């Protein structure tokens, strides 16, 4: 499974407000897409030419079937995207208020289908042998999926390219403290930790990028990635530490950038790129998707992304 990326966690129908600056209290029109961070990461990795396997569940409704059909059209492996007979597919509304940090409303059942994934429904070999195992922090928040996620992380036990994307959404958690406890338990089994400063503060109580990287590396990670928003991104190993500056773009929607970054990161890990190559490529992927409205639909192929990088006068070997 040399080019297999496995991602775990939530999936939804995302409805994007088309009017920049319009709040939910305003008149709005919406565009429909597939969403959920780990689902977007799977799409991003698949569009870059990898075998992306998504572990999630949808409702037994027309929206769930729409998601499966779209994932198949993007060459995401949907063998383990199953339906929950009594469940409803979650819906998320996004208002571009402001576009760089859209406001979200999550319409989810307390036991949404993607919280009911049972570990024994997935072959042990898939978890053990995939090249990149990508865990979303929200997958640790509730239900059978939380139990299965921790079981799979323990099974991987810091195997190379076992990734935790902290992916902190407060509405998924009873408290910030609960989220932090779960994040630290997951980090203990991961070789790669990814988060922005807010997420890292939730997990380990630190906001300084260098201190964050030092802590993750001291605790056993081999690669720490701290997203810095308008200041770009920092990548750190025990031997090297670099910062990648943000690209200058005309931003449309900031929602999909992190997931595009994630898919490109997985692509770089699979291809054994240097952390600078990974950082520049993933940073560009995030910037590209930020120029589009939606997330999954906007994920670029490698050819499209290389062309975008060339247009941005960046040099990536």
User: Domains along the chain?
Assistant: 4-311 (3.40.1190.20)
Show pLDDT as tens, one digit a residue, over the chain (317 residues): 789 999 999 999 999 999 999 999 999 999 999 999 999 999 999 999 999 999 999 999 999 999 999 999 999 999 999 999 989 999 999 999 999 999 999 999 999 999 999 999 999 999 999 999 999 999 999 999 999 999 999 999 999 999 999 999 999 999 999 999 999 999 999 999 999 999 999 999 999 999 999 999 999 999 999 999 889 999 999 999 999 999 999 999 999 999 999 999 999 999 999 999 999 999 999 999 999 999 999 999 999 999 999 998 644 44
pTM: 0.96
For 59, 60, 114, 195, the CA distances from 108, given in Å and listed in that order, are 11, 14, 10, 24
How far apart CA 139 and CA 71 sit, in angstroms, is 19
Output the pLDDT for position 315. 46
pLDDT confidence of residue 229: 87
So what's the pLDDT on residue 317? 44
Backbone angles phi, psi at 192, to 5 degrees: -130, 130
Residues in the chain: 317
Alpha-carbon gap, residue 30 to 7, rounded angstroms? 27
* Among 189, 191, 265, 174, residue whose Cα is nearest residue 227: 265
Spatial contact of 168 and 162, defined as CB atoms under 8 Å apart = no
CA 70 to chain centre: 18
What's the pLDDT at 1? 79
Strands (E), the chain: 4-8, 12-17, 30-35, 51-59, 81-84, 91-95, 103-107, 132-136, 162-165, 192-196, 223-227, 233-236, 241-244
| CA–CA distance, 311 with 198 (Å, rounded to integer) | 32
């Amino acid at each position: 499974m040399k080019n297999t990326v496995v991602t775990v966690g939530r999936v939804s129908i995302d409805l994007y407000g088309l009017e920049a600056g319009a709040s939910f209290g305003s008149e709005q029109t919406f565009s429909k897409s597939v969403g959920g961070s780990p689902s977007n990461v799977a799409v991003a990795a698949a569009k870059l030419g990898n075998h992306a396997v998504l572990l999630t569940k949808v409702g037994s409704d027309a929206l769930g079937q729409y998601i499966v059909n779209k994932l198949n059209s993007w060459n995401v492996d949907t063998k383990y995207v199953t339906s929950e007979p009594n469940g409803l597919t979650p819906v998320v509304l996004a208002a571009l208020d402001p576009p760089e940090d859209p406001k979200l409303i999550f319409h989810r059942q307390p036991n949404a289908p993607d919280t009911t994934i049972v570990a024994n429904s997935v072959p042990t070999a898939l978890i053990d042998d995939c090249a990149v195992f990508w865990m979303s922090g929200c997958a640790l928040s509730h239900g059978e999926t939380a139990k299965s996620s921790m079981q799979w992380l323990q099974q991987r036990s810091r195997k190379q390219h076992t990734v935790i994307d902290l992916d902190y959404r407060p509405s998924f958690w009873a408290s910030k403290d609960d989220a932090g406890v779960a994040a630290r338990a997951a980090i203990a089994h991961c070789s790669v930790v990814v988060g922005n400063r807010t997420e890292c503060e939730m997990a380990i109580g630190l906001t300084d990028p260098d201190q964050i990287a030092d802590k993750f590396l001291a605790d056993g990670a081999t690669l720490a990635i701290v997203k810095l928003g308008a200041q770009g991104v920092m990548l750190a190993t025990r031997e090297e530490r670099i910062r990648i500056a943000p690209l200058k773009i005309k931003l449309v929607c900031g929602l999909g950038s992190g997931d595009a970054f994630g898919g490109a990161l997985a692509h770089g890990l699979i291809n054994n790129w240097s952390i600078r190559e990974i950082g520049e490529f993933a940073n560009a992927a995030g910037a590209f998707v930020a120029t589009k409205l939606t997330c999954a639909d906007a994920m670029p192929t490698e050819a499209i992304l290389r062309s975008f990088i060339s247009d941005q006068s960046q040099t990536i070997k």
